[in-house]
Amino acid sequence: MNDVASQSGGSEVLFQRFGRQAPAGTVLFREGDSGEEMYVIQSGRVQITVTVRGIERMLDELGPGEFFGEMAILNARPRSATATVIEEAQLLVVGAKTLEAMIRGNTEIAVRMVKKLAERLDEADRVIENLMLRDLASRVVHHLQGLAETAGVAATEGGVRIQTTPSEVSQAILVPLETVGDVFARLVKANLLKPEAGGAFVIPDPAAMGQFLEFLGMKARFERPLT
């Protein structure tokens, strides 16, 4: 969707037609609202959250070039999440008819949207897989492994660097912060996780992390009482 501006002679013209300035703290829509428009971020940042069992859970944090809110248009169902501006943003607000015209008139936009929807489906699959794990430690390790695969970068000393904190992990997978902290401590002690300044961690050997996850799964399975 980054190239939408090319259709209308530049981003300034497009912003005049569809633009909206939103200060930090603005709630663009709430979970359960009806939706007739989607958003493209030109500048600033937007946080996407859902409420699970009364607890607000962050799904994503989006920046310039990202789009969101399209599902309510595509499936004509209520909003499945809440979108809140966390850094003053310039947004393009695109209605259903405009979106349809863009997709019909620009193959690249259609391809970009399909790819982004596929990424979100993959993420949903990972979340479901994580929630199926009964052992809380397994959930934490599984989440870290997923971060390494989807958002990790190669560390200069080897392994994969991920940017996260125990608090973020706790909120993402609905596991108590104390439990997440204990698992992080165990991983650090076992040299499966190395903390760095600025909220970063390095997974020195992702394969070893995967083996540890398998071990936790077997441990949880055989520790259950026989019925």
What pLDDT does residue 130 have? Answer: 57
What pLDDT does residue 123 have? Answer: 67
For 134-223, give the CATH class. Answer: mainly alpha
Compute the distance between CA of residue 62 and CA of residue 30 in angstroms, rounded to an integer: 16
Q: Is the pLDDT of residue 132 over 60?
A: no
Q: Is the pLDDT of residue 74 over 50?
A: yes
What pLDDT does residue 199 have? Answer: 76
Name the 3-class secondary structure at 6.
helix
Q: Is the pLDDT of residue 147 over 80?
A: yes
Of residues 155 and 14, which shows the higher confidence score? 155
Q: For 99-163, give the DSSP string.
A: HHHHHHH-HHHHHHHHHHHHHHHHHHHHHHHHHT--SHHHHHHHHHHHHHHHT-EE-TTSSEEEE
What pLDDT does residue 183 have? Answer: 92
pLDDT tens digits for 16-71? 777 889 999 999 999 999 888 989 899 999 999 888 667 777 778 899 988 898 88
- What token pair was written down for 138? 């397994």
What pLDDT does residue 136 have? Answer: 86
What pLDDT does residue 13 have? Answer: 65
**Chain region(s) in the chain for CATH 1.10.10.10:** 134-223
Residue 190 phi, psi dihedral angles, 5° rounding: -85, 5
pLDDT tens digits for 158-217? 899 999 989 888 888 888 899 999 999 999 999 999 998 777 899 999 889 888 888 777
Q: Using 50, 70 and 90 to split pLDDT, how confident is the model at 134?
A: low
Compute the distance between CA of residue 105 and CA of residue 137 in angstroms, rounded to an integer: 49
**Chain region(s) in the chain for CATH 2.60.120.10:** 2-130
CATH topology for 2-130 is Jelly Rolls (2.60.120)
Are 122 and 66 within 8 A, CB to CB?
no
